[in-house]
């Protein structure tokens, strides 16, 4: 087969020449154009802010955006916001484009803490300060990271669930998107709290999604009809799980504090939520930007407040 | 209509032909002019480099997709192949394999995944849409199994020059992946337009039965075409993994759609048999300029999707109208 | 009703397709419209039925000028066009097809099946045919589908019926019943425009003949006053001394030998051979298995047993690829479906089986390829503006020449031609025969499947007759008559 040989050799040629080129001169990583000028003071209304959020199809991040926008409106600051639709590559492109636009500060809520590193470095090279929101970056220089402590949130949720269902009761865990930082950390905190105190019979991912939360919970109930409690890593999944559980006496605790979630706590559908305050988080991030351009010192980590909201408080 | 061949005029569609030949290019230029008038930083050298870098992954996938579409098929699994081969490579590097070897294994795997698509389509006789819809799910699932749902990353990846260079490196001021895109274009341009393999690809898309009767080994060609699509998706996966410094389990989700859009914007008929490699490159550039330009203009992400959809619709409708003439 | 088309002209761009054409048809008359492909017949009919607008001239119906906006408009005015290729939906029933887009609904918008059924039966009775209404139309023969098509047009109270090549895909028997219908309709006062290349039919069924050539009406006769030669002369613009060229074959070695070839349920125990320089005709009724045998030999379809020898050596032809490697070529029955890539250029069609031979340093040697294509276009006198013209834009005859060029170019020593002159006009037919003569003179063995008995008798050396999947006999063409071929084709035996 003549042509097949040809195709193989072409494919091989392409692969090999790619590698050969790697060794060529003039090669470098990153388009460096060092820029380490001192911070020139800027009034709040003169700070151009670029924002890239991991997704805007989740109320939490919509509220985060609201927090930024409300604060910005007060001061007359110009903010441009992009939705990365949970695609790391798309987020990198957005940040490149923000750099091209020469914004004064970039607030990023990374899709992934590893994948964001190259973009942070790029911004570093361009001399644009980067503020990470809700999730950190595993490399590059950040002005600050504004986040609530997800491990702590998971722990608080775990402790409260144990209080509700009793020691060594059987519980299920609805996990978020595999690999997402929030999922990993909340899971970690919950595990710490549950160790020796709760019997986690099953862990299933429902992708932080309400509809998946419903179907996944239905499946869990089929397999483990005897679970007494559920820890959902976010409110959306918890709200889905509520529909699956219906009247059964199963306690649900989740993390986030979205308006829907809090309303469900009020009604007693969800038993407890470790509530974050996305609006406060957004406000804090923007404040950090203002502080930077006011030549004030910005601390490396700013923690956004969390608190437990219990259904029992409303009874 | 009956026997329109009799009534078809010759040489009277010069304008139509002109548009069909240059349509995508004209669209690209018009688009670039609009964006650069509205935002002067668009034509800055840094932004052009950004733009090309942003385009290259989609372009590489689209080159492979074009071969598939030329045969009248479709490959929905390229995004999943991208993720799976990226994850395999990352896993290998993390466990100590040299990045270059890991890259080669990664692209070879991509080719094998493509071959599986091809065999199922050519010998299983199933529709490409269905086969690749299924393997899209299978390959994505395998990626989750392999990565345990977590991104794969590690010092071995981010300390390696050759690993980082692929997706983050610059050569004479130009991102390395842009060279890769240009090289890929050159190689597959020759394959598509200058070799018998390319001619047979067009023949299959034009009329598979007639091609078979004319002695084209249609099944073999089909398999090789899906190998190319898988291979290029894997190359794109290597670039993306390097660019992100990690292999994301959900990398490349819905990339097949952008690739299909690039191919169609470039004037390739979804029915197969007609199209040009240069069109696909231009199609990818149009999508890139749209994304980049709308970001520069500060258009909200929600509206961006609407605009992108409308541009694709308009392009395709114009193309249909032209084809009907 | 009387339709007069006066001084009709039409151009596409610079290309003048019709120049001052006059044509008249009236109720109760069967009027043949003849001319080679490209003469402008279809354009004229498309103008009459509103599919195209004329650039000049007028259409008078019963003396009143009219202009139809589209086919539906024309239909409502009593003019129906039965196209050569029927646009039926094979999965839908006869009744559904008959009322497609004309469904009868009750006042709730629900289909009134009963009313539709009665109407359909009434119109089928008028044609004196019995067709089940509930079966999927695709399961019926082409002939039956054609009758349904005619019935459909009659539901609209058609006064003038245009039939474009109605007999092209019909068997002899079906043609007979078609003619019965035509005669019946004629008695009922329907006027018909009959487009066909088949002389025999024209003289059997029509009253009037109008001949077109190069966008002009060259002559109009009462059928009774004219003969075949005159019509052909009018059509091609020159005298065709004889319809079929003479055969002066010199036979060589046996090129192809097929032994005990069997594909269960399709054909059984077929054995024959053909020599260099010989034309072996395969005759038989439609569906007898001629095409199936050839497809299996060429490797398109599978076979169960039997052997093939080429130049005395046994070969295994698993696919067309193998056959081409052994210098076998196959012009398929359906050139649009399996013969041509309509959307590709003439050049890309012609060189496809030979393309592997033009590779230099891994890429196609475009110059050598172009020279090859140009040589074949010239040799087969394909009429086109350039080799880059799309195959789909050519006339039927030129398309067939492109397919032939493909197989001549690939160096076929055994050439299987399935209906080589179907849908080809008179002039191109003659050119194809001349080419076949030239090929056999150079030692090519030709197998010609043909449903045109005149052609089989007029232009072959030997006739093999297939009946229900087996060879029922072989006759030397010089001893053959219409009767003995038909006897074999219908399962009879010749007593020596």
Q: In the structure encoding, which two tokens stand for residue C149, read together?
A: 């098509």
- Distance in angstroms (rounded) separating the CA atoms of residues B278 and B274: 13
Three-state secondary structure readout of chain B? CCCHHHHCCCCCCHHHHHHHHHHHHHHHHHHHHHHHHHCHHHHCHHHHHHHHHHHHHHHHHHHHHHHHHHCCCCCCCHHHHHHHHHHHHHHHHHCCCCHHHHHHHHHHHHHHHHHHHHHHHHCCCCCHHHHHHHHHHHHHHHHHHHHCCCCECCHHHHCCHHHHHHHHEEECCEEHHHHHHHHHHHHHHHHHHHCHHHHHHHHHHHCHHHHHHCCCCHHHHHHHHHHHHHHHHHHHHHHHHHHHCCECCCCCCCHHHHHHHHHHHCCCCCCCCCCCHHHHHHHHHHHHHHHHHHHHCCCCHHHHHHHHHHHHHHHHHHHHHHHHC
| Domains in chain C, CATH or no CATH each | 2-236 (3.40.50.300), 254-489 (3.40.50.300)
pLDDT (average), residues B258-266: 92
B/e letters for C123-139, b = 16+ CB within 10 Å, e = fewer, are bbeebebebebeeebee
Q: Which residue of B has its CA nearest to C15?
A: B9
Residue from C169, C341, C405, C417 whose CB has the most chain B CBs within 10 Å, to mutate: C341
- Distance in angstroms (rounded) separating the CA atoms of residues B48 and A179: 33
User: A94-115, pLDDT tens digit by residue?
Assistant: 999 999 889 999 999 999 888 8
Report chain B's mean pLDDT, rounded to a whole number: 87
| pLDDT value of position A28 | 64
Per-residue pLDDT band for A36 (boundaries 50, 70, 90) equals very low
Per-residue pLDDT band for A134 (boundaries 50, 70, 90) equals confident
**Cut 0.90: pTM above it:** no
Burial (Cβ within 10 Å: 0-12, 13-18, ≥19) of residue A79? buried
B/e letters for B59-72, b = 16+ CB within 10 Å, e = fewer, are bbbbbbbbbbbbbb
**Given an 8 Å threshold on Cβ–Cβ distance, is C341 in contact with B195?**
no
Residues 6+ apart with CB under 8 A from C214: C39, C40, C237
Q: Which residues make beta-bridge pairs with C73?
A: none
**Given an 8 Å threshold on Cβ–Cβ distance, is C164 in contact with B207?**
no
| pLDDT value of position A20 | 53
Q: Which residues make beta-bridge pairs with A147?
A: A303
Residue B6 reports pLDDT greater than 50: no
Q: In the structure encoding, which two tokens stand for residue B145, read together?
A: 């199994």
A6 touches chain C (CB under 8 A): yes
B325 touches chain C (CB under 8 A): no
| pLDDT value of position C96 | 86
Residue A20 three-state SS: helix
Q: In the structure encoding, which two tokens stand for residue B82, read together?
A: 């991208």
pLDDT (average), residues A176-187: 84
Q: Which carries the bigger pLDDT value, residue A129 or residue A208? A: A129
- Distance in angstroms (rounded) separating the CA atoms of residues A227 and A199: 9
User: A228-260, pLDDT tens digit by residue?
Assistant: 999 999 998 999 999 888 767 899 999 988 888
Query: Residues 43-72, chain B: which have Cβ within 8 Å of C?
Result: none
Distance from CA of C356 to the nearest CA of A (A): 9
A44-147+278-304 matches A150-276 in fold: yes
pLDDT (average), residues A147-163: 92
- Distance in angstroms (rounded) separating the CA atoms of residues C455 and C461: 11
Residue from C358, C362, C363 whose CB has the most chain A CBs within 10 Å, to mutate: C362
Residue A315 reports pLDDT greater than 80: no
Query: Residues 354-373, chain C: which have Cβ within 8 Å of B?
Result: 355-356, 358-359, 362-364, 366
- Distance in angstroms (rounded) separating the CA atoms of residues C421 and C428: 8
**Given an 8 Å threshold on Cβ–Cβ distance, is B47 in contact with A100?**
yes
Residue A25 reports pLDDT greater than 60: no
Per-residue pLDDT band for B2 (boundaries 50, 70, 90) equals very low
User: B182-224, pLDDT tens digit by residue?
Assistant: 999 999 999 999 999 999 999 999 999 999 999 999 999 999 9
pLDDT (average), residues A39-68: 88
What's the CATH superfamily of A150-276? Response regulator (3.40.50.2300)
Query: Residues 344-363, chain C: which have Cβ within 8 Å of A?
Result: 356, 359, 362
Residues 6+ apart with CB under 8 A from B48: none
Q: Which residue of C has its CA nearest to A1?
A: C356
**Given an 8 Å threshold on Cβ–Cβ distance, is C362 in contact with B195?**
yes
> Subunits with at least 3 CB pairs below 8 A relative to chain C?
A, B
Helix H or strand E segment including C402: helix C396-409
Output the CA–CA distances (angstroms, integers) from residue C45 to C24, C62, C152, in the order listed: 12, 18, 19
Distance from CA of C236 to the nearest CA of B (A): 16
Q: In the structure encoding, which two tokens stand for residue B277, read together?
A: 């490699």
- In sign, the C-alpha dihedral spanning A242, A244, A249, A252 is negative
Distance from CA of C363 to the nearest CA of A (A): 10
Q: Are B167 and B243 in contact (CB under 8 A)?
A: yes
A101 touches chain B (CB under 8 A): yes
pLDDT above 70 as % of chain C: 97
Give the start-to-end residue ranges of the domains of chain A: 44-147+278-304, 150-276
Residue B1 reports pLDDT greater than 90: no
Residues 6+ apart with CB under 8 A from B178: B49, B52, B53, B56
Query: Residues 103-162, chain B: which have Cβ within 8 Å of A?
Result: 103-104, 107, 111, 144, 147-151, 153, 158, 161-162
Side-chain half-sphere CA neighbours of C89 within 13 A: 10
pLDDT (average), residues A264-292: 92
User: Residues of A with CB below 8 A from C356's CB?
Assistant: 2
- Distance in angstroms (rounded) separating the CA atoms of residues A138 and B79: 25
| Domains in chain B, CATH or no CATH each | 52-324 (1.10.3470)
> Low-confidence residues of chain C, pLDDT below 50?
240
Side-chain half-sphere CA neighbours of A29 within 13 A: 17
Tokens 């197969």 belong to residue:
B272
**CB-nearest partner of A115 from B47, B245, B291:** B245
Distance from CA of A314 to the nearest CA of B (A): 38
Instruction: For A44-147+278-304, give the CATH class.
Output: alpha beta
C386 touches chain B (CB under 8 A): no
Q: Which residues make beta-bridge pairs with C261?
A: C270
Q: Which residue of C has its CA nearest to A5?
A: C362
User: B277-304, pLDDT tens digit by residue?
Assistant: 999 999 999 999 988 888 888 887 778 8
DSSP code of C338? I
**Given an 8 Å threshold on Cβ–Cβ distance, is B171 in contact with A21?**
yes
Residue A15 reports pLDDT greater than 70: no
| pLDDT value of position A33 | 44
Per-residue pLDDT band for A35 (boundaries 50, 70, 90) equals very low
Q: In the structure encoding, which two tokens stand for residue B119, read together?
A: 């065999």
Residue from C163, C348, C355, C373 whose CB has the most chain B CBs within 10 Å, to mutate: C355
| pLDDT value of position C132 | 86
Tell me whether strands C216-222 and C56-61 are parallel, antiparallel or unpaired: unpaired
User: Residues of A with CB below 8 A from B153's CB?
Assistant: 114, 138
Query: Residues 115-174, chain A: which have Cβ within 8 Å of B?
Result: 115, 117-118, 138-139
**Given an 8 Å threshold on Cβ–Cβ distance, is C43 in contact with B6?**
yes
B20 touches chain C (CB under 8 A): no
User: Residues of B with CB below 8 A from A85's CB?
Assistant: 301
> Subunits with at least 3 CB pairs below 8 A relative to chain B?
A, C
**CB-nearest partner of A21 from B49, B150, B179:** B179
Q: Please give the interface size between A and C, counted as residue pairs whose CB atoms are below 8 Å apart.
A: 3
pLDDT above 70 as % of chain A: 87
Per-residue pLDDT band for A32 (boundaries 50, 70, 90) equals very low
| pLDDT value of position C242 | 61
| pLDDT value of position B12 | 46
User: Residues of B with CB below 8 A from A93's CB?
Assistant: 50, 54, 291-292, 295
pLDDT (average), residues B66-88: 95
**Given an 8 Å threshold on Cβ–Cβ distance, is B296 in contact with A17?**
no
């Amino acid at each position: 087969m003549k042509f097949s040989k040809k195709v193989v050799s072409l494919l091989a040629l392409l692969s090999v020449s790619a590698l050969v080129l790697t060794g060529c001169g003039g090669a470098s990583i990153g388009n460096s154009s060092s820029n380490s000028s001192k911070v020139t003071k800027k009034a709040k209304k003169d700070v151009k802010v670029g924002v890239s959020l991991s997704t805007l199809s989740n109320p939490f991040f919509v509220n985060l955006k609201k927090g930024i926008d409300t604060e910005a409106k007060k001061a007359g600051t110009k903010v441009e916001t992009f939705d990365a639709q949970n695609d790391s590559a798309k987020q990198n492109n957005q940040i490149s484009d923000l750099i091209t636009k020469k914004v004064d500060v970039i607030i990023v809520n990374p899709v992934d803490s590893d994948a964001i590193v190259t973009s942070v470095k790029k911004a570093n090279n361009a001399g644009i300060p980067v503020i990470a929101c809700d999730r950190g970056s595993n490399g590059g220089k950040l002005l600050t990271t504004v986040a609530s402590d997800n491990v702590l949130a998971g722990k608080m949720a775990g402790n409260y669930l144990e209080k509700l269902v009793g020691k060594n009761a059987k519980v299920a865990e609805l996990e978020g998107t595999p690999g997402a930082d929030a999922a990993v950390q909340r899971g970690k905190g919950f595990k710490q709290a549950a160790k020796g105190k709760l019997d986690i019979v099953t862990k299933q991912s429902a992708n932080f999604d309400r509809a998946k939360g419903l179907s996944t919970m239905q499946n869990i109930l089929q397999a483990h009809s005897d679970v007494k409690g559920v820890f959902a890593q976010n409110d959306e999944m918890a709200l889905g799980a509520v529909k699956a559980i219906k009247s059964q006496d199963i306690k649900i605790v989740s993390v986030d504090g979205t308006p829907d979630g809090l309303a469900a706590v009020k009604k007693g559908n969800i038993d407890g939520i470790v509530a974050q305050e996305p609006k406060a988080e957004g406000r804090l991030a923007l404040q950090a930007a203002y502080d930077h351009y006011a030549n004030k010192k910005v601390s490396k980590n700013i923690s956004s407040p969390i608190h437990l909201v219990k259904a029992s408080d409303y009874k | 209509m009956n026997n329109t061949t009799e009534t078809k005029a010759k040489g009277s569609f010069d304008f139509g032909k002109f548009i069909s030949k240059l349509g995508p290019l004209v669209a690209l230029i018009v688009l670039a002019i609009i964006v650069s008038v509205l935002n002067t930083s668009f034509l800055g050298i840094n932004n052009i480099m950004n733009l090309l870098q942003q385009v290259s992954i989609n372009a590489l996938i689209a080159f492979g997709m074009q071969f598939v579409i030329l045969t009248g098929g479709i490959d929905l699994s390229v995004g999943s192949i991208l993720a799976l081969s990226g994850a395999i490579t990352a896993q290998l590097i993390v466990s100590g394999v040299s990045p270059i070897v890991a890259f080669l294994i990664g692209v070879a795997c991509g080719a094998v995944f493509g071959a599986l698509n091809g065999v199922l389509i050519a010998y299983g006789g199933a529709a490409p849409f269905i086969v690749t819809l299924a393997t899209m799910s299978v390959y994505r699932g395998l990626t989750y199994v392999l990565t345990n749902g977590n991104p794969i990353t590690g010092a071995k990846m981010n300390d390696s020059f050759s690993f980082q260079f692929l997706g983050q490196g610059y050569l004479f001021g130009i991102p390395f992946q842009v060279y890769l895109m240009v090289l890929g274009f050159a190689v597959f341009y020759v394959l598509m337009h200058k070799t018998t393999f390319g001619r047979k690809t067009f023949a299959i898309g034009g009329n598979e039965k007639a091609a078979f009767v004319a002695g084209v080994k249609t099944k073999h060609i089909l398999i090789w075409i899906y190998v190319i699509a898988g291979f290029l998706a894997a190359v794109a996966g290597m670039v993306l993994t390097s660019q992100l410094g990690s292999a994301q389990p959900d990398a490349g989700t819905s990339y097949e759609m952008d690739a299909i859009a690039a191919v169609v914007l470039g004037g390739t008929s979804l029915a197969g048999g007609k199209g040009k490699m240069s069109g696909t490159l231009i199609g990818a550039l149009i999508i890139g300029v749209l994304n980049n330009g709308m970001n520069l203009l500060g258009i909200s992400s929600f509206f961006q999707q609407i605009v992108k959809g409308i541009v694709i619709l308009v392009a395709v409708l114009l193309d249909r109208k032209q084809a009907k003439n | 009703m009387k339709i007069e088309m006066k001084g009709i002209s039409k151009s596409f761009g610079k290309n003048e397709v019709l120049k001052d054409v006059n044509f008249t048809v009236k109720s109760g008359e069967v009027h043949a419209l003849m001319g080679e492909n490209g003469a402008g017949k279809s354009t004229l009919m498309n103008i009459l039925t509103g599919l195209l607008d004329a650039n000049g001239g007028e259409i008078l119906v019963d003396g009143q000028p009219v202009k139809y906006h589209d086919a539906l408009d024309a239909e409502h005015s009593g003019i129906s066009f039965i196209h050569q290729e029927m646009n039926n939906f094979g999965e839908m029933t006869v009744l559904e097809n008959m009322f497609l887009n004309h469904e009868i609904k009750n006042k709730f918008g629900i289909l009134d099946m009963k009313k539709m059924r009665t109407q359909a039966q009434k119109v089928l009775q008028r044609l004196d045919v019995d067709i089940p209404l509930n079966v999927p139309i695709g399961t019926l023969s082409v002939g039956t589908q054609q009758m349904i098509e005619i019935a459909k047009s009659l539901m609209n109270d058609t006064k003038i019926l245009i039939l474009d090549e109605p007999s092209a895909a019909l068997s002899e028997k079906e043609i007979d019943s078609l003619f019965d219908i035509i005669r019946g309709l004629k008695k009922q006062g329907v006027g018909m425009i009959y487009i066909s290349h088949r002389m025999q039919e024209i003289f059997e069924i029509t009253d009037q003949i109008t001949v077109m050539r190069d966008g002009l009406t060259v002559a109009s006769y009462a059928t009774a006053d004219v003969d075949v030669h005159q019509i052909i002369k009018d059509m091609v613009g020159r005298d065709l001394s004889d319809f079929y060229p003479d055969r002066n074959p010199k036979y060589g070695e046996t090129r192809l030998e097929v032994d005990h070839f069997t594909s269960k349920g399709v054909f059984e125990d077929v054995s024959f051979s053909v020599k260099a320089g010989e034309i072996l005709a395969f005759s038989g009724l439609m569906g007898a298995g001629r095409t199936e045998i050839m497809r299996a030999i060429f490797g398109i379809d599978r076979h169960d047993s039997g052997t093939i020898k080429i130049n005395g050596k046994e070969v295994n032809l698993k696919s067309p690829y193998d056959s081409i490697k052994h210098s076998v070529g196959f012009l398929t029955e359906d050139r649009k479906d399996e013969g041509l890539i309509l959307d590709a250029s003439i050049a890309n069609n012609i060189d496809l089986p030979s393309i592997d031979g033009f590779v230099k340093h891994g890429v196609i040697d475009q110059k050598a390829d172009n020279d090859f294509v140009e040589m074949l276009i010239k040799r087969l006198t394909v009429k086109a503006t350039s080799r880059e013209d799309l195959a789909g834009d050519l006339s039927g005859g030129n398309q067939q020449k492109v397919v032939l060029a493909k197989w001549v170019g690939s160096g076929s020593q055994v050439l299987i031609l399935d209906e080589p002159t179907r849908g080809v006009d008179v002039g191109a037919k003659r050119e194809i025969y001349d080419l076949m003569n030239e090929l056999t003179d150079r030692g090519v063995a030709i197998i010609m499947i043909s449903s045109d008995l005149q052609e089989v008798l007029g232009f072959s050396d030997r006739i093999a007759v297939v009946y229900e999947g087996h060879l029922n006999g072989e006759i030397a063409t010089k001893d053959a008559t219409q009767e003995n071929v038909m006897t074999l084709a219908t399962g009879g035996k010749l007593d020596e």
